[in-house]
Structures are given as C-alpha cells and as structure tokens.
Amino acid sequence: MSLVNSEAGLIKLEYDIVQNDFSRAGEASSNLKKVLKQLGVPHQIIRRVAIAAYEAEINIVIHSNGGKITAKISPEYIVLIAKDNGPGIKDIKLAMTEGYSTASNKVREMGFGAGMGLPNIKRCADVFDIQSKKDSTQVTIKISFNLE
Amino acid sequence: MNKYFHSVILDSEKCTGCTNCMQKCPTEALRVKDKKAIILNERCIDCGNCIIACPYHAQKAVAENLDALKNYKYKIAIPATTLYGQFMSEVNVDTILQSVKDLGFDYVYDEVIGSDLARILIKNYIKIHGNNTKPLISSHCPSITRLIQSKFPTLMNNIVKIESPMEIAARLVKLKIKEKYGYELSEIGVFYITPCPAKITSIKNPIGIKKSYVDGAISINEIYGDIYKNIKKNRGKETENFMSGSTQGIEWALAGGQSKSLNLTNYIVVDGVENACKIFEKIELGKLNHIDYVEALACTGGCVGGALNVENPFVAENNFRNLLKENKDGITINEKYAIDLCKAGFVCWTEELIPKEIDELSSDIRIAFKKMEKINKLVKELPGLDCGSCGSPTCQAFAEDVVNGLSSIEFCVFSKNNDTQGYDNK
Ligand code: SF4
Ligand code: SF4
C-alpha cells in the first residue's frame, strides 16, 4: 500500500487507489491521520487533511480508472497529489460546483458521489490546484500546519 | 491519583509471554518483554480484551474484595445491571439482589435508577445540543470515552457530558442514606459490583468529574460463587423489593438499550472497539452529520460482554430478554429535579476532557520528523509479517518502539543478530 521513502528533507508516502474498490477507500486518509498525529500536528488540521485525502480517494475510486495519492510532508506543511489515469474532467468549473456530479445512480445509492468531493477538498486546502487532460486528472493541495 | 492508573494489570507469574493479549489489544498497549507481557499504561483504555484473550488468566483487573466493607459503618452495594442476567432466567432479580445483600451489605441500590435519571438528562442534552453537534456520542462506556480522548480528540465535543448510571446511583444513594440515618459521607461505603474494568478505573481516575462517589468495586466474577450459594438459600423465600428502576433502564445492559430507551430513530449502535473506531473515522470525515446519536460500547453486545462477567454474553442476553418481557415503569423521577441536579454539577460533567497525545513522537515537530524518517526506513527493512515474536504487535509498532527506545532491533527474528527475547532458539 504505502511505499515510503524520504527525499530531500520530505517524508513521502504513496497510496495506490484502485478503481471501484470502495471497501479499501479511506485507508490512505486513515494512515495519513496517524502519521500526522505522530508528528504532533494540531488535531483540527489533521482532520482537514483526512477529509481532503478521503474525498480524493473516493473521487479516484468512483470516477477514474485508478490512480495514486502521494503525500509529501515537511515539518511545516503537507502536500497531497491525487493523480488518476483518466478519463479527465471535461468542464472543471462545473465539477467544482457543489452538488454537481457525474456519478452513476448505482454509486449514489451507495451514498457516494453527491458532488461534494472537489468543493470539499478545496475547502480543506490552503492551496488548491487542479489540472485535467483526456487521460489524467491531477489535484494538488497544500495544507500548512501553522505551528509558529 | 496517578494520571495513568489502570485497573487492568498483569499477573506476571502466570504470564507465559504467549502474545495472545498483544494481538487482541485494540490500542496497541501491550508488549512482550523478557517473556512477560507489559501494559503501556498511557495507551490502555481498560477495555478488558486482554483479560478475555489470555489463556492463562494472567491478565486481570484490580478490584476490592469483601474485606473492604469493614472500613465503613454503612455498606451499600450497587450491582451493575448486567448482574441481573448472570443467572438462569428463572431466578428472580430480587432474589439475586437479596443474595448480594446477604454478603454483608446494609443496603442494595438498583443501578437502573441511575439509568432512568440519566435518560431524562440525555434527552434534555439532545434537545439543547442535538442541532449544533451531530452526532452526539454516548458517554456510557468509559473505555470508549478514553478511546476518543486518545485517538479521536476532535470528537470530544460530541460526547454527552452526563455521568454514568453507576455514578448517578452512587450519588443519589449516599445522599439518601446520609439524610435518613445521619451518617457522614465518609462513613458510608458504596461498592459497585462490576462487570467492567473500565468502570473500576473510572472510580479511581474519573472522567469529567473531580471525584467519584463510589468507594470501591468488586468484580462480578470474584463473588459470583458466593452470590450463587446465597441464591440457592434464598430461592422461593420472600425478599425485599430492590428493583425500583424501569424496564427500559434495565435494557441499558445490552447494546442498543440506551438508544431505544431514548426513543431515538436516527442513531447508530456499535459494539467492539475496532468497530467503534470505524464509526469514529467516519464521523471525523464528516460522513455521519445526518445521524443524531451514536451509542458505542467497547464490549461485544454491550456491558453483558464485560470482561468480568461470568455468563457467556449471548446467554446473558437471552436471560435479559426474559426479564424485559414485563414492562415496568420504575419509580417516577421528576424531570425538573433531575435537571436541577445536573445544573448543580451533581450528575453531569464538571471537568473538561483533555486529549491524550499518546501517538506523538515528540512535542517538537522537528524531532518527531527525524524519528519518523528513521521509523519509515526501519519498516522497509522489516519483513512485514506482523508475527509478534519481537514483542511488538506489528512490524510498524516494532519500528516505532525501536526508535522510541522501547525495543531493540535484534529482537526481530529476521534480524542478523537476533536473540528472540530469550525464547529457546531450537
Ligand atoms: S485493557 Fe484493553 S487497551 Fe488495556 S491493555 Fe488490555 S486490551 Fe489493551
Ligand atoms: S461496554 Fe460496558 S462493560 Fe464494556 S467497557 Fe464499556 S461500560 Fe464497560
């Protein structure tokens, strides 16, 4: 699951996310939460990271052909990069609207895909960026720990 | 009182270092060192899983025995409601309670009165806070409260800040006896007959209040045989009328009983620490904001599954079903009286809950960061089998222990300099 290596003063954690695998969604978020607790990051900030990571996981599970979440942690901040393998988002502005969703009925019946994923991630982030091409979407966010 | 007092302790003479308990501890509070289990006190939530898991009965709870009664002029027993389901269902509850009294108590008080009063207060609490804080989380199980304190601190605000039925009952009965007979509070001894190690801890080291009114706890399994003998004597005889609580209150011994008695419709009942963790994860993610109430209990089936019970929880549950057939209202508790007691801080929490930072590697993030890098590096070198032979519950926990100076790399059976903790290496 998590491939850990430390590079250039950052702790890097990687989580593979499998398309349609709802049962495992949440593992990345849960693991990140533990890591940040060990570092002593304030609880409310950990909660924001956990929500952002979870929504990113669910997005990849529902909408893409699978992907990966990478966390890069420094003593000051965390950067999350959620990258999937297509099909890309046609209209990013629309996708960022609360309540807008392209999730299938089946997925909605399971209680997911209410069209809150991306807006929720943005709300949790200090810095938010989204790039989408035909074969891949990448959401990058940064959350500062505000320790000093 | 020692900030980390725990009722769950280990009898190291009986312990063989088998690691059964370590594998069952939901908070990774157990380690095995030199062929003996040890409990990391700051991590333990007194759930009692290790007591149930230990094949050698080396894990136990420190409780009082009947000798402690002699320290008091007036001795009161408050048997946990679960005791009512510990004997075959045809044994009348008043006979059970008479048999407890005959062990040397002056009075036996029905814990269910505490549940009935708590029910009024929780309803009122939901009315006041239920719209702003969702879901509210029951404070009934002290193990769960401690779990939230250390693992889900952002949910501390969701906990219903009302005392447990045990504590409420103890307070009511002490005042009653003081008024009736003129004893000083210090002359009255209240003993809880407990199925629950976490409740014992809460007496010595309470959550949400300054001091408990309960003076001691006696484990059900410790005096079960004595009660049983008395039951045989008392069967068919007239007894006093001890039961004064409602049928709804009795049901609190079973998971879900509390929510049912509150007439809730939109609630979750979860038992077992690991299951509760999954629900709390969801609450932290904001996925359960539509739920009103979460009743989470550490033991299987609720308090009937408490580690210090004797009867199998599923059999006990059936005994309860028989008991619940008849619908009794219990003594009437005036709502205003209950709420005034709460406002006076007598039956509600008066103390702030403080998060327990058990996971933090250092209070300085830079030091924590360095340690984390070392842990990650070490984890990659370990086999990832989580075999437990090193004395830590998982390879990840082992790496953390090594970096925290609690263990040493050669305890890994796959390490080049392995010295399997003194086990014979045949
Ligand atoms: S009582 Fe529970 S938390 Fe404490 S050591 Fe035993 S299993 Fe772990
Ligand atoms: S479920 Fe009941 S017996 Fe078990 S730890 Fe919680 S309060 Fe104690």
Query: B399-423 burial, b for 16+ CB within 10 Å, e for fewer?
Result: bbbbbeebbbbebbbebeeeebbee
Tell me which of A2, A36, A39 to substitute to probe the interface with B (most B C-beta atoms closer than 10 Å): A39
Q: What average pLDDT does the structure give for chain B?
A: 93
Q: H-type helices in A40-115, by residue range?
A: 43-63, 92-95, 105-109
Best CA proximity match to B273, nearest among B59, B61, B48? B48
Q: Measured from the CB, is residue B189 less than 6 Å from ligand 2?
A: no
Model confidence at A8: pLDDT above 80: no
* pLDDT of res. A6: 45
Which residues, 6 or more positions from B311, have their beta carbon under 8 angstroms from its beta carbon? B85, B86, B87, B319
Q: Given B154, B369, B400, which is nearest A39 (Cβ)?
A: B369
* Close Cβ partners of B185 (under 8 Å, ≥ 6 residues apart): B174, B178
Residue B241 alpha carbon to ligand 2 centre in Å:
27
CA of A38 to the centre of ligand 2 (A): 28
- Structure-token pair, residue B345: 């801080």
In the structure, what pLDDT confidence band is assigned to residue B424 with cuts at 50, 70 and 90?
A: very low
B7 lines ligand 1 (CB under 6 A): no
Neighbouring C-alpha atoms within 13 Å toward the C-beta of B49: 25
The predicted pLDDT at position A93 comes to: 86
The angle, 0 to 180 degrees and rounded to 10, between the axes of the packed helices A43-63 and B273-284 is: 90
Distance of CA B268 to the CA centre of its chain: 19
Q: How many CB atoms lie within 10 A of CB B298?
A: 32
**Residue B267, number of CB atoms within 10 A of its CB:** 18
Q: pLDDT grade, residue A3 (50/70/90)?
A: very low
Looking at A23-27, A136-140, B71-75, which range is the least confident one? A23-27
Q: How far apart are CA B283 and CA B134, in angstroms?
A: 9
- Give the pLDDT of residue A2: 35
The span from the CA of B334 to the CA of B328, in Å, is 17
Q: Which two tokens stand for residue B376?
A: 């990650």
Tokens describing residue B22:
């370590």
pLDDT in tens, A41-83: 999 999 999 999 999 999 999 888 999 999 999 999 999 999 9
Is A50 an interface residue toward B (CB < 8 Å)? yes
pLDDT score, position B419: 55
Question: Is residue B44 classed as helix, strand or coil in its secondary structure?
Answer: coil
Nearest CB among A38, A54, A147 relative to B372 is that of A38
Which of A4, A34, A147 lies nearest to residue B359, judging by beta carbons? A34
More confident residue, B1 or B130: B130
Instruction: Please write down the HEC assignment for all residues of B346-388.
Output: CCECCCCCCCCCCCCCCCCHHHHHHHHHHHHHHHHHCCCCCCC
Q: Which atom of ligand 1 is nearest to the CA of B48?
A: 1
pTM: 0.92
Q: Residue A102 C-alpha to ligand 1 middle, in angstroms? A: 46
d(CA B118, CA A65): 51
Tens-place pLDDT, residues B413-423: 887 666 555 45
> What's the token pair of residue B117?
């009063």
Q: What is the pLDDT of residue B425?
A: 42
In the predicted structure, residue A123 carries a pLDDT above the cut 70: yes
Q: How far apart are the first and last CA of chain B?
A: 46
Report pLDDT digits (tens) over B367-403. 999 999 999 999 999 999 999 999 999 999 999 999 9
Q: Indicate yes or no: CB of B365 within 8 angstroms of CB of A145.
A: yes
Q: Is the CB of B199 under 6 A from ligand 2?
A: yes
CA closest to A1 among chain B residues: B384
Strand partners, B268: B294
pLDDT at B320 over 90: yes
Chain centroid, CA A98 distance in Å: 17
Which residue among B357, B363, B376 places its CB closest to the CB of A6? B376
Residues from B contacting A (CB-CB < 8 Å) are 153-154, 281, 284-286, 355, 357, 359-366, 368-369, 372-373, 376-377, 379-380, 400
| Best CA proximity match to B26, nearest among B46, B5, B2 | B46
CB contact under 8 Å between B360 and A5, yes or no, is no
pLDDT confidence tier of residue B73, bands split at 50, 70 and 90: very high
| Residue B324, CA atoms < 13 Å, CB-side half-sphere | 19
Q: How does B107-146 read in b/e, with b if 16+ C-beta sit within 10 Å? A: bbbbbbbbbbbbbbbbbebbeeebeebbbbbbbbbbbbbb
Binary contact (B380, A54; C-beta < 8 A)? no
User: H helices of A1-148, where?
Assistant: 27-39, 43-63, 92-95, 105-109, 117-124
pLDDT band at A146; cut points 50, 70, 90? confident
What is the pLDDT, as a whole number, of residue B321? 92
Contact indicator for A77, A144 with CB cutoff of 8 Å: yes
Identify the H or E element spanning B78: strand B74-79
Chain B positions in Cβ-Cβ contact with residue A35 (cut-off 8 Å): 372
Question: B130-167: per-residue pLDDT in tens?
Answer: 999 999 999 999 999 999 999 999 999 999 999 999 99
pLDDT of residue B50: 94
Tens of pLDDT, residues B323-345: 999 888 989 999 999 999 999 99
A42 in contact with B, Cβ within 8 Å:
no
What pLDDT score does A107 carry?
A: 83
Residue type, B139: S
Query: Given pLDDT bands bounded at 50, 70 and 90, which one contains residue A103?
Result: confident
DSSP state of B182: -
* CA B258 to chain CA centroid, nearest Å: 16
Q: How far apart are CA B203 and CA B212, in angstroms?
A: 5
């909605």: which residue's tokens? A108
- For residue B142, whether the previous peptide bond is cis, meaning omega lies within 30 degrees of 0, is no
Smallest CA separation from ligand 1 atom 2, residue: B47
Least confident of B12-16, B74-78, B217-221: B12-16
By residue count, chain B amounts to: 426
- Give kind and range of the element (H or E) at residue A18: none
**What pLDDT shows up at residue A148?**
66
DSSP assignment of B266-285:
SEEEEESHHHHHHHHHHHHT
Ligand 1 probe mutation, B20, B30, B62, B202, most atoms within 8 A of CB: B30
Token pair 């994860």: residue: B281
